[in-house]
């Protein structure tokens, strides 16, 4: 039996970064918001307290904070000819569950996308011709960097981002990223400290004529109070960010930056342990009336709402759209339909530099601590002589060297035994990792749909992921590997271990939780699921937030981008939608 509840103004499906931002902004504006979160309620005190939170086995290896595959996972195949099989252990990417979502166990690398990213297709065609896309179905976003700048700024200040501006209102700033789009002001907090690894990379990069700068970070560098009065502590470089919660109140998260703001208004109602299974439409199919969810006791509820924000992480967003019949499912055979279209990811090309006589103290660090180079990103360099579109940013990050997962050995070392142990002991603290984090273009055959066979614990079909690298990604990786080798020489490493990525995308190897697309934004309902305000083209009171909206992936990590879009979306809803509910475009 389903219990029908009293109607509210707003429901968010999921309470992570996007759900938290929607809650803060709409409750401040006086709306009654219900946050439905499938996982537990959890907060710094006591859930992220030391010493337990510094438990590599529990959090990093056994994935204490992540989505439980026993209940809900995805099926995967490289192409449509294969039968997709369930990802029985989630390991290649790690969606979150519980209050704050993956915003609890993220690293905090905080990037604004380049102005070029928003015009990937048109800018590429204009400068190099259509062939440069190598058959990619990448699109423009239907919005520009300039339009979004105030929303990026809002996020930077809400989250207390630490960095050095490279371009303030068109004036290049020494020490920052000269390639970034113009920002309206400096970061709210100074950049992070520099590790020895970062220092060596900075010197080598300069020697090669590149332009290094400190990576922008959501690991807050000094005690900070955001414009809404939310308070942060200062990072102590403990080296436990990625996959952990932060005990110092220093890694920006929904719990710190936005959820307390919503709570303070008295207009926010958080319900945890509530898994949404469907968005219900009225008889016209053009308006959503409610969501259905199941609570921890197994009771089913229907929660009516005027506005529904789908903020459940990209993969869960796309699945809920498909099971609820919102928008036309994408069909790779015809190239028609929009839900599931343009699924992309991140292409990482890694390298390790080994030194015989250095000490890096690599166990010290912070999730987003690092030195970056943007000379090979986007269209920051001439692509006439290369066979791919877009690029990568290079990073020497110092995120902490927890020993179960980090114990690099030079190529050729056996995988166990006396020699392996000897090399582990020798190089544990004598190595630097470098990564080229690269963009991924969209292709017709890479998409998301509902699996015909496998189901989750609620009886819903699993989301099926069909994905493989395309020519842009593999060619990009080859190019970046050469650059990483060059840097290895310039940095005077004793051993340089770099290899380009080849072969198929492998769902078992962790390569970021930067799953992208499937409900993309754009200016044409024929090839996008939501308009430039993140509003469903088909059901006007459903807003789909998160990386699901990116038409293809930039080289950068996605969170600042999707949080800026969340601010942009809510601002427009408050300004334009609530007075005249209906299509905004």
β-partners of residue 348 are 437
Q: Give the one entry of ligand FAD, another protein, none that residue 299 binds, where binding means its C-beta sits below a cut-off of 5 to 8 angstroms depending on kind.
A: none
CA separation (Å) from 67 to 235, 312, 466?
27, 12, 20
Q: Is 557 in the site for ligand FAD (CB under 6 A)?
A: yes
Q: How far is the CB of 513 from another protein (least distance, A)?
A: 16
Q: Nearest-CA neighbor of 134 among 469, 381, 527? A: 469
Query: 98-137: which residues touch ligand FAD (CB under 6 A)?
Result: 98, 101-103, 105-109
Q: Is 513 in the site for ligand FAD (CB under 6 A)?
A: yes
Query: 273-302: which residues touch ligand FAD (CB under 6 A)?
Result: 275-276
Query: 345-404: which residues touch ligand FAD (CB under 6 A)?
Result: 367-368
One residue of 8, 10, 11, 17 binding ligand FAD per CB under 6 A: 17
Q: Is the bond leading into 356 cis (omega within 30 degrees of zero)? A: no
Q: Is 152 in the site for ligand FAD (CB under 6 A)?
A: no
One residue of 39, 163, 365, 438 binding ligand FAD per CB under 6 A: 39
Task: Tell me the CB-side half-sphere exposure of residue 375, using CA atoms within 13 A.
Answer: 13
- Give the span between the Cα atoms of 427 and 359, in whole angstroms: 9
Q: Which is nearer to another protein, 138 or 255 (CB)?
A: 255
Query: 238-267: which residues touch ligand FAD (CB under 6 A)?
Result: 242-243
- The residues near 484 (Cβ < 8 Å, ≥ 6 apart) are 349, 351, 394, 434, 436, 496, 498
Please, where are the H alpha helices in 514-575? 559-572
Residues contacting ligand FAD: total by CB under 6 A: 41
From 63, 105, 514, 540, the catalytic residue: 514
Q: Is 546 in the site for ligand FAD (CB under 6 A)?
A: yes
Q: Is the bond leading into 46 cis (omega within 30 degrees of zero)? A: yes
Return the structure tokens found at 194.
Answer: 């520099």
- Give the span between the Cα atoms of 194 and 211, in whole angstroms: 16
Q: Which is nearer to ligand FAD, 93 or 201 (CB)?
A: 93
Q: Is 18 in the site for ligand FAD (CB under 6 A)?
A: yes
Q: How far is the CB of 378 from ligand FAD (least distance, A)?
A: 17
49-71 b/e (C-beta count within 10 Å ≥ 16 → b): eeeebbbbeebbeebbbbbebee
Is-contact 352 408, C-beta < 8 A? yes
Q: How far is the CB of 561 from ligand FAD (least distance, A)?
A: 8
- Give the span between the Cα atoms of 548 and 560, in whole angstroms: 14
Residue 189 gets which letter from DSSP?
B
Q: Is the bond leading into 491 cis (omega within 30 degrees of zero)? A: no
Look up 504 and say whether it is catalytic.
no
Q: Give the one entry of another protein, ligand FAD, none that residue 424 binds, where binding means its C-beta sits below a cut-off of 5 to 8 angstroms depending on kind.
A: another protein
Continuous segment of H or E residues that includes residue 234: none
Q: Give the one entry of another protein, ligand FAD, none that residue 223 binds, where binding means its C-beta sits below a cut-off of 5 to 8 angstroms depending on kind.
A: another protein
Q: How far is the CB of 204 from ligand FAD (least distance, A)?
A: 23
Q: Which is nearer to another protein, 215 or 377 (CB)?
A: 215
Q: How far is the CB of 90 from another protein (least distance, A)?
A: 7
374-401 b/e (C-beta count within 10 Å ≥ 16 → b): bbbbbbbeebeebebbbbbbbbbbbbbb
- Give the span between the Cα atoms of 568 and 532, in whole angstroms: 9
Q: Give the one entry of ligand FAD, another protein, none that residue 280 binds, where binding means its C-beta sits below a cut-off of 5 to 8 angstroms depending on kind.
A: none
Q: Is 166 in the site for ligand FAD (CB under 6 A)?
A: no
Cα–chain-centroid distance for residue 490? 32
Q: How far is the CB of 18 from another protein (least distance, A)?
A: 25
- Give the span between the Cα atoms of 235 and 267, in whole angstroms: 31
511-524 b/e (C-beta count within 10 Å ≥ 16 → b): bbbbbbbbbbbbee
Q: Is 216 in the site for ligand FAD (CB under 6 A)?
A: no
Q: Which is nearer to another protein, 69 or 172 (CB)?
A: 69
Q: How far is the CB of 149 from another protein (least distance, A)?
A: 28
Q: Is 63 in the site for ligand FAD (CB under 6 A)?
A: no
Q: How far is the CB of 236 from another protein (least distance, A)?
A: 4
- Give the span between the Cα atoms of 496 and 487, in whole angstroms: 9
Q: Which is nearer to ligand FAD, 19 or 329 (CB)?
A: 19
Q: Give the one entry of another protein, ligand FAD, none that residue 208 binds, where binding means its C-beta sits below a cut-off of 5 to 8 angstroms depending on kind.
A: none
Q: Is the bond leading into 51 cis (omega within 30 degrees of zero)? A: yes
Active site (catalytic) residues = 514
Positions touching ligand FAD (CB under 6 A) are 13-19, 36-39, 94-98, 101-103, 105-109, 242-243, 275-276, 311-313, 316, 367-368, 513, 546-547, 557-559, 562
């Amino acid at each position: 039996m389903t219990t029908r509840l009293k109607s509210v103004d707003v429901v968010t499906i999921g309470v992570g970064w996007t759900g938290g931002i929607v809650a803060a902004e709409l409750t401040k504006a006086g709306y009654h918001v219900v946050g439905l979160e499938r996982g537990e309620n959890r907060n710094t005190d006591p859930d992220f307290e030391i010493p337990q939170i510094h438990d590599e086995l529990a959090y990093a290896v056994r994935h204490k904070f992540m989505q439980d595959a026993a209940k809900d996972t995805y099926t995967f195949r490289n192409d449509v000819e294969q039968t997709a099989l369930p990802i029985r252990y989630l390991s290649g990417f790690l969606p979150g569950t519980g209050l704050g979502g993956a915003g609890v166990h993220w690293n905090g690398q905080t990037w604004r996308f380049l102005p070029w990213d928003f015009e990937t297709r048109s800018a590429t065609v204009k400068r190099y011709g259509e062939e440069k896309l190598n058959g990619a179905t990448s699109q423009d976003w239907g919005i520009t960097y300039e339009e979004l700048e105030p929303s990026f700024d809002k996020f930077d200040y809400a989250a207390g981002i630490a960095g050095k501006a490279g371009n303030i209102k068109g004036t290049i700033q020494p020490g920052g990223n000269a390639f970034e789009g113009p920002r309206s002001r400096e970061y709210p907090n100074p950049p992070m400290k520099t590790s020895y690894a970062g220092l060596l990379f900075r010197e080598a990069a300069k020697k090669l004529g590149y332009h290094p700068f400190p990576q922008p970070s959501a690991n807050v560098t000094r005690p900070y109070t955001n414009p809404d009065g939310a308070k942060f502590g200062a990072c102590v470089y403990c080296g436990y960010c990625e996959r952990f919660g932060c005990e110092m109140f220093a890694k920006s998260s929904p719990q710190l930056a936005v959820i307390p703001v919503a709570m303070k208004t008295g207009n926010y109602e958080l319900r945890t342990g509530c898994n949404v299974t469907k968005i219900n439409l009225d008889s016209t199919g053009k308006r959503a009336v409610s969501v259905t969810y199941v609570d921890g006791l197994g009771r089913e509820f229907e929660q009516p709402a005027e506005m529904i924000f789908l903020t459940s992480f990209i993969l869960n967003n796309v699945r809920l759209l498909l099971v609820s019949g919102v928008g036309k499912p994408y069909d790779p055979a015809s190239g028609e339909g929009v839900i599931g279209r343009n699924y992309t990811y991140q292409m990482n090309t890694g390298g390790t530099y080994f030194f015989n006589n250095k000490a890096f103290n690599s166990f010290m660090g912070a999730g987003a601590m690092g030195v970056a180079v943007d000379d090979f990103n986007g269209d920051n360099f001439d692509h006439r002589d290369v066979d791919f579109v877009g690029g990568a940013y290079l990073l020497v990050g110092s995120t902490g060297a927890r020993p179960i997962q980090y114990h690099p050995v030079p190529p050729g070392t056996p995988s166990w035994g006396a020699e392996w142990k000897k090399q582990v002991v020798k190089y544990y603290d004598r190595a630097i990792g470098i990564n080229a984090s690269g963009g991924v273009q969209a292709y017709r055959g890479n998409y998301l749909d509902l699996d015909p066979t496998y189901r989750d614990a609620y009886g819903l079909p699993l989301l099926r992921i069909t994905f493989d690298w395309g020519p842009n990604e593999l060619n990009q990786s080859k190019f970046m590997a050469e650059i990483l080798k060059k840097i290895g020489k310039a940095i005077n490493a004793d051993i340089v271990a770099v290899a380009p990525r080849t072969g198929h995308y492998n769902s078992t190897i962790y390569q970021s939780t930067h799953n992208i697309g499937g409900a993309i934004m754009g200016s044409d309902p024929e090839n996008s699921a939501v308009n430039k305000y993140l509003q469903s083209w088909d059901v006007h009171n459903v807003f789909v937030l998160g990386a699901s909206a990116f038409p293809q992936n930039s080289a950068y990590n996605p969170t600042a981008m999707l949080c800026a879009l969340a601010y942009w979306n809510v601002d427009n809803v408050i300004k334009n939608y609530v007075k005249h509910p209906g299509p905004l475009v």
